Amino acid sequence: MPDKRLPLWEVFIRNKRGLDHKHAGSIHAADGEQALQYARDTYTRRNEGSSIWVVKSADIVASQPEDEDSFFEPAEDKIYRHPTFYDVPEDLKL
């Protein structure tokens, strides 16, 4: 029996020009055009958006919890990778 549920889509909204698209949530829709409309109706009702991206949740490749040790832990003791490790000369204009 075929799966009759509509596919899940992740919604990304940019609320102002120049800012990044941010994950807003997810919705169900049959295809991209419908996903865009439902994203608009669900997440921009209170004037939150100026641009919407939708992407099929199934197309997102996500890291797994069991990857945590090998993916993220090695960065913990590399403090020299943070800009705070360096002394910024006083006369440097940022």
Contacts of 68 (CB under 8 A, 6+ apart): none
Per CB under 8 A, 68 contacts another protein:
no
**Could you say which of 41, 58, 67, 68 contacts another protein (CB under 8 A)?**
41
**Could you say which of 37, 48, 53, 56 contacts another protein (CB under 8 A)?**
37
Per CB under 8 A, 67 contacts another protein:
no
C-alpha atoms less than 13 angstroms from C-alpha of 27 in its C-beta half-sphere: 24
Nearer CB in complex with another protein: 30/75: 30
In angstroms, how far is CA 28 from the centroid of its own chain?
A: 17
The span from the CA of 56 to the CA of 66, in Å, is 24
Residues that bind another protein (CB under 8 A): 6, 27-30, 33-34, 37-38, 40-42, 45
